[in-house]
Structure 1
């Protein structure tokens, strides 16, 4: 990890905790203590803390070679994650289509696949009836000579393997304690945003941070550096070939780590889009989205923070870009960083362009766009992550709509 990354790690953790409510305190020290305990009573440090961990009072010794079975729903990134995990304990895996009767098995599948892994779970593992109704749910079962992960989908299976990675990093002498983990996420989006003013991070920094985020089950990195010209001041211009290649590399890192790269545009601050330029500028923005889509970007963010303008124009652009996202078929929901991104914005003089507004009235313009994710930082620009932050947004401003809290 580069020096620049180390400098920003503490900041990234703050953003991660704001977005997700994760707790990382004391990981290194506690993980080291667990690693030194080679008995069958070792308890592993796993973050974010799983919803349920049930330990048995016994362990089994990991073999040097293992049979590996995937359900057909498991993607390449999740298979690569398993290879990374096995390498920690110097285990060689051979992929087959069936559970072996002798030796060690590692199984990775998804609920509803009707594959060999799901069938094994049906016969050997009992879990909460409503577990897979939850977001990003997975089960990790470690039994005699079997390590198995069943996810709600391939992403959730990846998160289960990320928990296994933490366990394998604490295992000594290849003795792993038998256990069962049932886990799911509270928030749909978990990650960090590069949205500050100043020198942007390097490509290497961003890739390193996405890899780091993937280890902690983060699933989103928003690329929105205010001083990156093609995001902000030169938002109408397409990326040149060399810069587009950098984007492609970051997109690939996001795909590999499941900490997805989301690209943001800010067309409201410099030479802003207006009602009179709207039709032409919409074509410009869609052309830029298409350019980035072609190098793998699958989530887009529209930024309107720290800029003047009318909410009616913001809502109009959200509507049209939401329609474009839906037309592609494989693009995640559009995210929107509003002019009013915290309760304190009501006291700012420039945001309404003379329109009499309240925070609640601002968000009424987005009621017809339920799939657009609205970012919210709380009572002020930087505000502690509290349940009241979520409740106030839902109950006071948006009539029950959840925020993408940042």
Structure 2
């Protein structure tokens, strides 16, 4: 579990930072990396203060209690956090469980950074992430992963975060892209990625780290963890090939960016299903995710008229929805011990979409009213590296 925790942290630092930084323009590489790093630091402190308690301590079906604030629950044990406290990981010390779940809490708002890349004020990002973690992420995590959570009680299955992480972040990203507004020149000039080699390295780190993301969610080094790793690899490969083929057919050219995006789409979609499905089902999920997320990142994005800069909704939102619904269809009780329900999965996805969209919009509205969300036109033209941080890539 400690190794899995390190792998999930690797997904954000440096994986997501490199993945996103390579897709923005050169003048915004450092600011994008700074945003991801700042999110990781801020979320860590908020998790310590109250976030973990709201997500995982006993409370109501909608939100956890406060007994774990400042991680006081660890102090109550004779061996300072060496005892298990959660049915998700009955043999894992609480200190390890806190850290493992922290890495999920870090990557979820960090994903949203890609939706408003190249135009968000750094101060606005701080206020947004702080409120979003406590008002959106923690409640949804409690709904789905707490044994008393109302969606868990209704049979929702989410092995490693398809709903809690990916649908949640994807929908928030779409709302943020609408509310912050498009980048200058969007749809009129080519906004070319600065370094797709950097993006490929980031995608590779995400792929490797995802083994901890899904495998570690078994809470033990056992056959279920091994199966979760195997189906994760299969879905990622199927997603990469699926996206590549449809792009090759439509655009006559298979791209490195498409391969990276397809692999991530497959990884996203298998996440909720990874502890419940067979290898053959994983391949099917990856193939569908590659096709669905390609459409989400191209045709659907144009229909929605959102400058979701790095396709947070197109890949994570769409992939999460595909994975959640297919989990309900394909869950095999011989693997996970439970049967799936498409209705329960749709209910969980729908509740998450509504809560994430509504509360995200309120938070962004409040932050915009207090300090403003967006940099000035001159600052955007100069690039956020220089205007927000006084730095630039040589």
- For the superposition of Structure 1 and Structure 2, which TM-score range results when normalised by the shorter chain? under 0.3
Structure having the larger proportion of residues in strand: 1
Larger RCO, structure (CA 8 Å, separation 6 or more): 2
Tell me the TM-score normalised to structure 2 length. 0.27
Tell me the TM-score normalised to structure 1 length. 0.26
Structure having the larger proportion of residues in helix: 2
Larger gyration radius, structure 1 or structure 2: 1
